[in-house]
Amino acid sequence: MTTTPAAETVPTAAALALGDDALVLSHRLGEWAGHAPVLEEEVALANIALDLLGQARVLLSTAGDEDQLAYLREERAFRNCQLVEQPNGDFAHTIARQLFFSTYQHLLHDRLASGDGPFAPLAGKAVKEAAYHRDHAEQWTLRLGDGTDESHGRMQRAVDALWRYTGELFQPVEGLDEVDWAALERTWLELVTDVLGRATLTVPEGPRIGAWSAGAGRQGLHTEPFGRMLAEMQHLHRSHPGATW
């Protein structure tokens, strides 16, 4: 882990926000193992999950002990956005979530990598991974949107269902002052609009802010499925206090 930023210079809030995003999405993708529609996707989804877990480990380690942070915090202390905690749903839901998140993550890491902030070294590595994740999500958005009537319908429903979690992505994260969030959001909208258009899908008209107020995940306000996800993730670790694995 040569890309670990020097701990003393890293804003903890930012490390937690970015680290929790990667941790939680990685976990969701891990749930696909053995369930993917085609063998190649078993490989691809696990590959993306592993990249994200690697990012999470670096980020959480800068904020403290990675396992303590992952396994011993309760729901209200997690700082991930609500988008990444959304259940996998069908393959279209997983792909829509990947499209929205990987486009965001690619733009964000690209910005951070070109700066001289503490996250630049990490972002430099993550940006390459995010580019691959984004390409994977875009290709599948095109295949599903511009595939059969059924896949088109499913992809549109997924895009519509997850749209309201995308506004939160652009609420400024404490400690990432170098990021122009409004510009990031404009670029994100352009890119996503372009992909959806090429996939013959409609950009949803609904609001881009979810059930809670803006930035809710970053403040530890999550959606109901998240608590259940954490219960499963943390159960074994919590059952053996102080043990090493």
Please say which residue, 4 or 47, places its beta carbon nearer to other proteins: 47
Name which of 10, 183, 196, 205 is nearest 104 in CA terms: 183
Contact between 36 and other proteins per CB under 8 A: yes
SS (H, E, C) 74-113: CHHHCCCCHHHHCCCCCHHHHHHHHHHHHHHHHHHHHHHH
List, in sequence order, every beta strand (DSSP E) within the chain: none
CB of 7 to other proteins, least distance (A): 17
Please say which residue, 13 or 50, places its beta carbon nearer to other proteins: 50
Size, binding site for other proteins by CB under 8 A: 49
Contact between 56 and other proteins per CB under 8 A: yes
User: Which span (40-48, 72-80, 106-114, 117-125) binds other proteins, by CB under 8 A?
Assistant: 40-48
Binding test (CB under 8 A) with other proteins, winner from 12, 42, 115, 221: 42
Per the CB < 8 A criterion, the answer to whether 181 and 191 are in contact is no
DSSP 199: T
Which long-range contacts (C-beta less than 8 Å, at least 24 apart) are formed by 124-132? 124/3, 125/3, 126/51, 126/55, 129/51, 129/52, 129/55, 130/102, 130/105, 130/106, 131/106, 132/48, 132/51
| Positions in 60-89 near other proteins (CB under 8 A) | 60, 66-67, 70-71
Quickly tell me which residue has 């690209």 as its tokens.
Answer: 110
User: Which span (25-33, 96-104, 111-119, 159-167) binds other proteins, by CB under 8 A?
Assistant: 25-33
Provide CB contacts within 8 A for 238, sequence distance 6+.
71, 72
Please say which residue, 30 or 172, places its beta carbon nearer to other proteins: 30
Angle 138-108-46 from CA coordinates, rounded to 5°:
50
Please say which residue, 143 or 208, places its beta carbon nearer to other proteins: 143
| The length of the chain, given as a count of residues | 245
| Positions in 134-193 near other proteins (CB under 8 A) | 142-144, 146-148, 150-151, 154
Binding test (CB under 8 A) with other proteins, winner from 4, 13, 50, 221: 50
Please say which residue, 206 or 242, places its beta carbon nearer to other proteins: 242
The footprint of other proteins (CB under 8 A) covers 23, 27, 30-31, 33-43, 46-47, 49-50, 53-54, 56-57, 60, 66-67, 70-71, 90-91, 142-144, 146-148, 150-151, 154, 232-233, 235-237, 240, 242-245
